Amino acid sequence: MLEQALGALAQLSERHDTLERAVDLRLSLAPPLSALGDMERALAALRDAECAAIQLGDPRRLGWVWGTLATVEVLLGDTWPHSSTASGRLRVPGPRASSAFR
């Protein structure tokens, strides 16, 4: 059902609210995929969510994506501090970042 919702969102124009929904849906999709052992699809969903959250400049959603992505990477045996993308996750996102991220 979540994948059907993502398919429907893909048909809509790329607006702020559709990007927010796309991030949220992908975040909702990753845990069930991980539980089913489909880690590659979970990672793909999270990486897509990461791109959309960066595009939105939404630090809250980006934090949720990074936390979930780190969990999936650890489950795959990639320890987060040594992850190839960990250094990029430590950078502050765009100008809309809240004071908590500065």
**Domain boundaries of the chain, sorted by first residue:** 2-94
Residues 15-61: pLDDT tens digits? 888 889 889 999 999 999 989 998 988 999 999 999 999 999 999 99
Amino acid at 90: L
Residues 69-83: pLDDT tens digits? 888 888 888 765 545
Q: Which residue has the tokens 């430590």?
A: 90
The pTM score is 0.70
Q: How high is the pLDDT of residue 46?
A: 93
Q: Which residue has the tokens 């969903």?
A: 45
- Tokens (6 digits) for 46: 């999270």
